[in-house]
Structure 1
Amino acid sequence: MNLNQTVIFVETVFAQKVDGEMVLLDMESENYFGLDEVGTAIWQAMQEYGTLQEVFNAMLEQYDVEEEVLEKDLSDFVNKLLVSGLIEVTPN
């Protein structure tokens, strides 16, 4: 993952916040995905900011976490969304 990349949301994915957590529905595969509180915060930051660097900075301000841990967790999260076909990212 390159923090200069921008997240692109796939048009067939609908997101709805329910009881503080995000529920995602991929209309193409008809699969549901649930995000916990932190995943929801990252998803919302990805919608709000332009680059993963800005998402990283926002999460760093919001949570008491070491930069290396956050970068790995953000990378893992983005990769899971990519593999599930819920997002795309701009090329490096």
Structure 2
Amino acid sequence: MLTPESRLSRSPDPLTSEIDGELVMMDVESGKYFNLDAIGTDIWNRIGDGIGFGTLCAALAQDYDAEAATIARDVTTFVTTMADKGLVRIKP
């Protein structure tokens, strides 16, 4: 479960390439490809080597015209999906 203090970081494993503002990724281990839209790419870039979940959501709320609860819900979905695929690491 994500909390505002949860620490997010990207897995170093996938190969990535940005094309027209969207990120294409390949997980070498599984051989699967992933495509992130512009917002997913923005989140991926902000996660970088590590960021707190609460800090990430607050930064996104400043840059996007959406309610904080909506952003937190959408980021939770994105991050947990990426974690399930081994692309994002979550530390409580």
TM-score using structure 2 length: 0.89
Amino acid of the structure 2 residue aligned with 1:69: T
Gapped regions of structure 2 (runs ≥ 5): none
Partners of 2:6 and 2:16 lie apart in 1 by: 21
Alpha-carbon contact 2:9-2:50 (below 8 Å) kept: no
Alpha-carbon contact 1:7-1:52 (below 8 Å) kept: yes
Partners of 1:62 and 1:41 lie apart in 2 by: 11
The reply to whether residue 5 of structure 1 matches residue 43 of structure 2 is no
TM-score using structure 1 length: 0.89
Partners of 1:52 and 1:88 lie apart in 2 by: 11
Give runs of ≥4 in structure 1 deviating > 4 Å: none
**Residue 58 of structure 2 corresponds to which residue in structure 1?**
57
**Residue 48 of structure 2 corresponds to which residue in structure 1?**
47
Tell me how many residue pairs correspond in the alignment: 91
In the TM superposition, residue 74 of structure 1 has moved relative to its aligned partner by 0.5
Gapped regions of structure 1 (runs ≥ 5): none
Q: How does 1:22-33 map to 2 (within 5 A)?
A: 22-33=23-34
Alpha-carbon contact 2:10-2:47 (below 8 Å) kept: no
After superposition, the CA RMSD in angstroms is 1.4
